[in-house]
Chain A
Amino acid sequence: MVTAPQTAPTATTDDPSQPVVVFDDVSIGFEGKQVLENISLTVSPGETRILLGPAGSGKSVLLKLANGLIRPDSGTITVFGERVDNMPEEQLFQLRGRIGMVFQEGALFDSLTVRDNVAYRLMEQKIPEAEVTQRVTEALRFVELEQTLDKFPSQLSGGMRRRVAIARAIVNRPDLILYDSPTGGLDPITSTTIVELVMKQRDVYRTSSLLVTHRLQDAFMLATHTFDREQNHMVPIPNGGLDSKTNFLLLHDGHLVFDGSTHDLVHSDDPFLKEYLS
């Protein structure tokens, strides 16, 4: 169970009518092999986009493209109204101040303590020490790991490391969060805890997000549950309802084969989708 929220909600984008992320006809390949081909998608303010697909279908590459960590061979990528596909690295560092990213294995700095990992961005921004401590404590309280401040990542379990990675991603209250398989390789109970944190970020702070996963159960839990602030716990949406702000994308062999709502996904007649979901 997660604790009550401590940080104030923030705006999701400058212009609420404009999409937060726009991919337009994006393609990229590595060493002669095409990984993504003609991908077009959008993420709206407050929306959670769940990116599904078999292993090796280019999900993580798409996420790194959205953060400007790699550049496409063709097409344009716009984040918060700014082109990131041709933006100089120096400007990207500024833009990334509004983006939180949770990496596949956490990617915590193994030579830093949990406190310094979570505080990393704040310390780079030269924020006063007292405020850093307060915000780090808030972020760690969000993921229920306040007691691990002085531990090193190697002293934590896989699930705890993933939760610290989430705390690091949200510590500066980003407007967009990119989750790269946040539950990958975790046991079902720990996965549920992580999904609950993602859901809490979605429902309490209304943060736009792009979430990569290949675990269907996690994806559908996000679509069918909501975070109840009073109970401080996730609960099923009544009458089998679906979260309207959670939509799906499905990648297969570098192509986007589905882009739509949960309802459309489960009722699709496409043979590949049926096989994938079965």
Chain B
Amino acid sequence: MPFDSIESLAKKYVVAVQDYAVLAGRALANIFQRPHYFGDLITQADSIGIGSLPIVILTGFFTGGVLALQSASSLAQFGATAITGELVSLSMIKELGPVLTSLMVSGRNASGMASELGSMMVTEQIDAMRALGTDPLKKLVTPRVYATVFMLFFLTIISDTVGTLGGAFVSVVMLGQNGSQYFHTAYQTLRFPDILQGLVKPIVFGFIIATIGCFYGMTTRGGTQGVGRSTTQAVVVSSVLIIFVDFLISQFMINVFGF
């Protein structure tokens, strides 16, 4: 019956959101409860942070470069190429740095978490862990959440820096602009709310990436096909959520600081 189907579908989604909220809440709260798995935290931080460094640097550099290229050609129509650095640094620090870094880390790590935990679910390793007296949330989820939040914060700063340098490279070497003018405008235009916005976003996005990746991993059903499904869903949902939450944070910051 169609009404039953709609009802059961709605219930399914409500239960999923509830389960996600419980997992995310417990993952955060576990930091205050023993035992702590610092070894796993370091391993995850290494895997997520250091492992993602090459793609973050490459993405940041070329994003800054293409931003300078596009801005300069548009600004040239108004004779305002001097503010290329301003445009690049503002765009990178407020928006593109946090969002693109998060999307790259999401593609690499949300999928990795979902597939790793999903494989453990379908091979009963998670049940075995519980049977051996270990809380999988403390051992597997909490280290991933904190490691992602912590490392994404610094990856975003690196991405912002490299993006600004990429913009400088294009502006100076390819477009023949003045280097000190580029860096001067890039630095002078930044205000506290811009920096704050750029640093708050990766904290929230890191939380989204890790909790969504772990949630889909821990709720995997249906063998290898289920693992594939979870992996895809984790990347899609975390990416969409990142862009949606980016809009909310930007709106909130504009309302609070006025620009």
Q: Which residues of the other chain, A, contact B129 by a CB distance below 8 angstroms?
A: 109
Contact B125 A109 (CB under 8 A): yes
Contact B127 A107 (CB under 8 A): yes
Contact B132 A69 (CB under 8 A): no
Q: Which residues of the other chain, A, contact B79 by a CB distance below 8 angstroms?
A: none
Contact A124 B128 (CB under 8 A): no
Q: Which residues of the other chain, A, contact B127 by a CB distance below 8 angstroms?
A: 64, 69, 103, 107
Least CB distance, A31 to chain B, in whole angstroms: 10
How far is B133's CA from A103's CA once the two chains are assembled, in angstroms?
A: 15
Tell me, yes or no, whether B19 is within 8 Å of chain A by CB.
no
How far is B123's CA from A186's CA once the two chains are assembled, in angstroms?
A: 17
A102-113 Cβ-contact flags toward B at 8 Å (1 or 0):
011101111000
Q: Which residues of the other chain, A, contact B125 by a CB distance below 8 angstroms?
A: 107-110
A97: which of B123, B128, B133 is its contact (CB, 8 Å)?
A: B133
Contact B130 A94 (CB under 8 A): no
Q: Which residues of the other chain, A, contact B123 by a CB distance below 8 angstroms?
A: 105, 107, 110
Tell me, yes or no, whether A67 is within 8 Å of chain B by CB.
yes
Interface residues of A (CB under 8 A from B): 64, 67, 69, 89-90, 92-94, 96-97, 99, 101, 103-105, 107-110, 120-121, 124-125, 168
Contact B135 A101 (CB under 8 A): no
Contact A107 B124 (CB under 8 A): yes
- Chain A residue with the shortest CB-CB distance to B128: A107
Least CB distance, A29 to chain B, in whole angstroms: 15
Q: Enumerate the 4 nearest inter-chain pairs by beta-carbon distance, A residue then B residue, closest first.
A: A107-B128, A107-B124, A101-B131, A93-B133
How far is B132's CA from A105's CA once the two chains are assembled, in angstroms?
A: 16
B52-76 Cβ-contact flags toward A at 8 Å (1 or 0):
0000000000000000000000000
How far is B132's CA from A96's CA once the two chains are assembled, in angstroms?
A: 7
Least CB distance, B141 to chain A, in whole angstroms: 14
Find the residue from A90, A93, A107, A124 having the highest chain B CB count within 10 A. A107
Inter-chain CB contacts under 8 Å: number: 50
Given contacts A93-B130, A96-B132, A121-B132, 17 further A-B contacts (CB under 8 A): A64-B127, A69-B127, A69-B130, A92-B130, A93-B134, A94-B133, A96-B130, A101-B128, A103-B127, A103-B131, A107-B127, A107-B128, A108-B125, A108-B128, A109-B129, A124-B35, A125-B133
Number of interface residues of B (CB under 8 A): 13
- Chain A residue with the shortest CB-CB distance to B131: A101
B1-37 Cβ-contact flags toward A at 8 Å (1 or 0):
0000000000000000000000000000000000100
Least CB distance, A221 to chain B, in whole angstroms: 26
- Chain B residue with the shortest CB-CB distance to A67: B131
Contact A96 B128 (CB under 8 A): no
28 inter-chain pairs at a CB distance below 8 angstroms, sorted by A residue, are A67-B131, A69-B130, A92-B130, A93-B134, A94-B133, A96-B131, A96-B132, A101-B131, A103-B124, A103-B127, A103-B128, A103-B131, A104-B124, A105-B123, A105-B124, A107-B123, A107-B124, A108-B125, A108-B128, A109-B125, A109-B129, A110-B123, A120-B134, A121-B132, A124-B35, A124-B132, A124-B134, A168-B132
Least CB distance, A69 to chain B, in whole angstroms: 5
Q: Which residues of the other chain, B, contact A67 by a CB distance below 8 angstroms?
A: 131
- Chain B residue with the shortest CB-CB distance to A97: B133
Q: Which residues of the other chain, B, contact A110 by a CB distance below 8 angstroms?
A: 123, 125
Least CB distance, B34 to chain A, in whole angstroms: 11
How far is B139's CA from A109's CA once the two chains are assembled, in angstroms?
A: 13
Find the residue from B124, B128, B131 having the highest chain A CB count within 10 A. B131
Contact A93 B128 (CB under 8 A): no
Least CB distance, B48 to chain A, in whole angstroms: 16
Interface residues of B in 128-184 (CB under 8 A from A): 128-135
Least CB distance, A274 to chain B, in whole angstroms: 34
A99: which of B128, B131, B135 is its contact (CB, 8 Å)?
A: B131
Q: Which residues of the other chain, B, contact A104 by a CB distance below 8 angstroms?
A: 124
Least CB distance, B116 to chain A, in whole angstroms: 9
Q: Which residues of the other chain, B, contact A94 by a CB distance below 8 angstroms?
A: 133
How far is B131's CA from A94's CA once the two chains are assembled, in angstroms?
A: 10
B102-138 Cβ-contact flags toward A at 8 Å (1 or 0):
0000000000000000000001110111111111000
